[in-house]
Structure 1
Amino acid sequence: MSTAKPKHWLMKSEPETFSIDDLQRKGQEPWDGVRNYQARNFMRDGMRPGDKVFFYHSNCAVPGIVGLAEVATDAYPDPSQFNPKSDYFDPTSKPEEPRWMLVEVKFVKKLSRTISLDELKTMDALADMALVRKGNRLSVMPVSASEWRTIVALE
């Protein structure tokens, strides 16, 4: 068993596709469809079961952090890459050499309010956070321990 401290992450989802309410209802779910190499590498090389996750709603009226989740599994090949009927099908990816990975996340808590991106951008303690930097569109990103504590305290 690893004695490493849990890491912290932020994972974005469009609420029309998969929301915090969906995760709460299901309990645990594969985080599939990630098709960015850097985000894939975070899941494949960095995430471990027990890591803490901010669940972030994007592309909606008020984008922001809406809940807490936890990484439930180590990374494994995303089956959607092999399914021609999937929106995430990748004809260049082969089962013997999968290109895309996923982790499963489990529901921890729905926040009492949305901590909006606009609010996060006003906080000096979060000035270096990847989420608030202009042009950052990653769906999976690391969060420092101090950023995690700052945001959790906002609720």
Structure 2
Amino acid sequence: MRYWLFKSEPDTWSWDDQVAKGDTGEEWDGVRNYQARNFMREMAVGDRGFFYHSQTDKAVVGIVEVIAEAHPDSTSDDPRWDCVDVKAVAPFPRPVTLDEIKADPELAEMVLVKNPRLSVQPVSAAEWRRVCEMGEADPES
């Protein structure tokens, strides 16, 4: 299993919106960055990801699971753009803010710290465990 981080502006697509989709999940559509798209092409069903509220909260607020591998993005007629489907797994009991992540020396190399604008990014297993610990979330959920 690999780990990822998915960023979304809460006024566009929030954690509550994701939860409302239930087990059917939703496409992680609208990504128009080649690096982020390529990361989605690497994903496998069962991979886990952090759901990150960008812009306002700037915090990890939940855990999602990839439920469909990369396929054409339904919001584009351009065949270059793919997306995956994700479903909500569990909320973070305590959101973990970007400031907290940046302040933790164990997370200094995290892509979120080094390249905070990238909308879909990999997370190492050690980073996954540490952020889950900070948010009082079960890393196995």
Structure 1 length normalisation: TM-score? 0.83
Q: Does 1:71 align with 2:66?
A: yes
Aligned residues: 133
DSSP-derived class of the 2:109 partner: coil
* 1:138 maps to which of 112, 118, 133: 118
Corresponding residue of 1:51: 47
Q: Which 4+ runs in 1 deviate beyond 6 A? A: none
1:119 shift after superposition: 0.4
> Which whole-Å deviations, capped at 9, do the CAs of 1:61-114 have from their partners, x for residues lacking one?
x311000000001100002112xxxxxxxxxx2xxxx11000000110111222
Q: How does 1:82-97 map to 2 (within 5 A)?
A: 82=77, 93=78
> Whose strand fraction is larger, Structure 1's or Structure 2's?
2
Instruction: Provide the rounded CA distance (Å) in 2 between the counterparts of 1:33 and 1:53.
Output: 17
Q: Does 1:13 align with 2:8?
A: yes
Instruction: Indicate the percent of aligned positions where both proteins have the same amino acid.
Output: 53
- Between Structure 1 and Structure 2, whose CA radius of gyration is higher? 1
DSSP-derived class of the 1:15 partner: coil
Corresponding residue of 1:110: 91
* 2:33 maps to which of 18, 31, 36: 36
DSSP-derived class of the 1:21 partner: helix
- Structure 2 unmatched ranges of 5 or more: 136-141
Q: Does 1:148 align with 2:128?
A: yes
Structure 2 length normalisation: TM-score? 0.91
